Amino acid sequence: METIRIEGIAAPVSRIGLGTWAIGGSMWGGSDDASSVATIRQAMDSGINLIDTAPAYGFGHSEEIVGKALLGIRDQAVIATKVALEWPGGKVRRNATAARIRVEIEDSLRRLRTDRIDLYQVHWPDPLVRHEETALELEKLRRQGKILAIGVSNYAPAEMEKFRRFAPLATVQSPYNLFERGIEQNVLPHARTTGATVLAYGALCRGLLSGRMHADTAFGGDDLRKFDPKFQQPRLRHYLAAVQALDRFARERHGKTVLALAVRWILDQGPTIALWGARRPEQLQGIDAALGWKLRATDLEQIDALLAQHITDPVGPEFMAPPARPLTLEQQ
């Protein structure tokens, strides 16, 4: 396993991390706890030590499963979770107040069955709360030893700079994959300059880049892909055509699958970690194929050409953003 150092965390961190949004069940058509625990254990056995979760994933359920799965091996894992969302009435919205953080840290520690969180990330910027308030509260937790490193998620560089005035910022988590590359314009260059590590979530673009999806793949229950513009026709047909072209390229040029290519591409972009989402052990097959090789400049050019050829109406991940809280009378 390739590793990277994150400021504040003593252990080398695996450059492939396990993403556990789907394990929470909510917005992914439900979850099987026994299978989820087996998946986390399989990830650890495969050399992955970074387990990324959040309270909002299944309204605490994902964290509970992670805590259960890491019983007896917690010190071998790097636990990354998040803060600053709430869900009154089951509706997720942003809340990065110090009061909310104080409640969430205790809830997360309890669910995860641990005395500290290795990487604590602000899930989304809250436009109603000053960065100073959020950052200072997290820095207080870091000094208390309840968290080891501070990160943010879905932040723009300007927001990170304001945050950094009041607390050290080790990581930024952003959507990033072959189909969603918006952070190349700002977040990724900023991370390279400041030394922050980028945690790329959606590395396989919600399964599109796994090579296992077809035009007739069905999604049940509350699966968010029923509402994802990429999974609606005619866009889905275009994206699947791109996947097929990338798979042919990967096999002919490197003897790899499109899945290995997609992860390797992220790892070759800089100070990056690819978050590999899975909720069944078999979905972790292929990890080794993404490691130990590099894409050449000519490969990157060919990949860009294939994407431009097949995806004529691209769309980003903006549909996933939760709303802010309503303004109070004082804020209006």
- Residue 234, preceding peptide bond in cis (omega within 30° of 0): yes
Rounded Cα distance, 290 and 255, in Å: 11
What is residue 7's three-state secondary structure? coil
Phi/psi of residue 273, each to 5°? Answer: -125, 130
Q: Pick the catalytic residue from 57, 120, 155, 239.
A: 57
What is residue 147's three-state secondary structure? strand
How crowded is the C-beta side of 308, counted as CA atoms within 13 Å?
Answer: 6
**Count of positions (residues) in the chain:** 332
* Residue whose tokens read 């994902």: 62
Q: CB of 141 within 8 A of CB of 147?
A: yes
Q: Is 176 a catalytic residue?
A: no
Q: What is the DSSP letter of 323?
A: P
* Residue whose tokens read 């359920």: 61
Residue 135: which of 101, 167, 104, 102 has the closest Cα?
Answer: 167
Rounded Cα distance, 171 and 160, in Å: 10
Rounded Cα distance, 256 and 20, in Å: 25
Q: CB of 111 within 8 A of CB of 83?
A: no
Strand stretches in 244-310, DSSP E: 272-277
Name the helix (H) or strand (E) containing 197: strand 197-201
Q: CB of 43 within 8 A of CB of 156?
A: no
Residues belonging to the active site: 57
